[in-house]
Structure 1
Amino acid sequence: MSADTDQRGNDDRQRITLTEEDDGRWTAHDDSRGLTALGDSRRDALDALDAVIDAVEGDGGRPPTDEELREAGIDPEENRRRGEGEGEGELPDVLK
C-alpha cells in the first residue's frame, strides 16, 4: 500500500490542474475540492487558489469593515438593524 492510499484503498492525493487560457492568464483548479482561481501567471493562479481554499476551509475570511460596506453601497447601521429584523425597504443591489 502506498503512502498516498488509505486503509480502505481510497486515493487521498490532491491534484491541481494549471491551464493557460487564450488571453494568457492561468487557471488553477483543485480537482479534489472543486475550487478554481485565476491569475496573470501560474504563480498568481496558485496563490489565488491557496487564498480561495483558505477562505473556504480555513479562517481566511473576516467580516467587512464599515468603510468596506459603505464603498459597496451598504449603510452599516441599517444593515445591522435589518439583521435584527428592524430594517425596512429595499435591499441594496449588491445584496439582491
Structure 2
Amino acid sequence: MASSTENGSDHEGEIRLWREDDWWIARDVGTGVTTQGVSRSEALENLDEAVALHRGEIGREPTDEELRELGIDPEENATGDTKPPDVLE
C-alpha cells in the first residue's frame, strides 16, 4: 500500500492506494472517502471526483422533477427528522 501526505496534520491530503484482486482502491484518509478503479489512475480520478462531491465543490441535489422522471415520489422519500443510517453519514 502506498500513501502520501500533503500537510502532515490530521491526515489532510493523505491518500492511500492499494490493489485488491483486479481493482485499485484509493482512500482519502482525512474524509474517509474511498473509491476504486481498474487502474491506479482511474481509482485516483474517481477519488478526486468523490472528494469534491463530499465537500460540496461539485454536484447538486436532484430536482423534484428529475426524481419523478426516475419514478421517485419526493413526498414519499424524505427522511424528515429521521437520522440517516451510519453508512450515509
TM-score normalized with structure 1 length: 0.57
Of structures 1 and 2, the one with the larger relative CO (CA 8 A, separation 6+) is 2
Kindly report the root-mean-square deviation, in angstroms, between the aligned alpha carbons of the 2 structures. Answer: 2.6
Task: Pick from 22, 46, 52 the counterpart of residue 44 of structure 2.
Answer: 46
Q: Which stretches of structure 1, 4 residues or more, deviate above 4 A after TM superposition?
A: 10-13
TM-score normalized with structure 2 length: 0.60
Per-residue CA deviation, residues 10-63 of structure 1 (Å, 9 max, x unaligned), is: 5666221111111x1111011222211111211111111111111111321212
Query: How many aligned residue pairs are there?
Result: 71
Closer/same/farther in 2, CA of residues 69 and 42 from structure 1, 3 Å limit: farther
AA at the equivalent of 1:54: A
Larger Rg: 1
Runs of 5+ in structure 2 lacking a partner? 1-6, 80-89
Q: Identity of aligned pairs, percent?
A: 37
AA at the equivalent of 1:62: R
Closer/same/farther in 2, CA of residues 45 and 74 from structure 1, 3 Å limit: same
